[in-house]
Amino acid sequence: MMFCPKCGAENEGYAKSCRECKEELPETLPRGIFLNQPTGLWGGVAPPNLPLIVLAIRLLPKFVTRKGTLIFAVLLLAILLTFFLLVRE
């Protein structure tokens, strides 16, 4: 047995599409492990603020002065705060 993730209808294990909503069902292994479903913290996608983190790391050598280090630290703190707020959602 397999349940449709969209409407919850009960389908046969070998069915390609749901018999009620006609939506395509995810492929499964014999144990019911989904093959085409992304897993992980962001579902197989990079976090939205990853480019900001990469940019901050690339700009690090330009902020070697004392004032620049302070600015960089504030920027990094803002990026990390955004990162952790997105993870909590």
Bridge partner residues of 11 (DSSP): 2
CB atoms within 10 A of CB 18: 20
> What are the respective helix, strand and coil percentages of the chain, to the nearest 5?
40, 10, 50
> Domain limits of the chain?
1-37, 50-88
| pLDDT higher than 60, residue 42 | no
Q: What is the pLDDT of residue 62?
A: 67
Say which residue the tokens 């390609």 belong to.
Answer: 16
CA 55 to each of CA 49, 81, 83, 84: distance values in angstroms, whole numbers, following the listed order: 10, 16, 14, 18
Mean pLDDT over 60-84 rounds to 76
Task: Using the predicted structure, report yes or no on whether residue 18 has a pLDDT greater than 80.
Answer: yes
| pTM higher than the cut 0.75 | no
Q: Residue 2: enclosing H or E segment and its boundaries? A: strand 2-3
Question: Does the pLDDT at position 27 exceed 80?
Answer: no
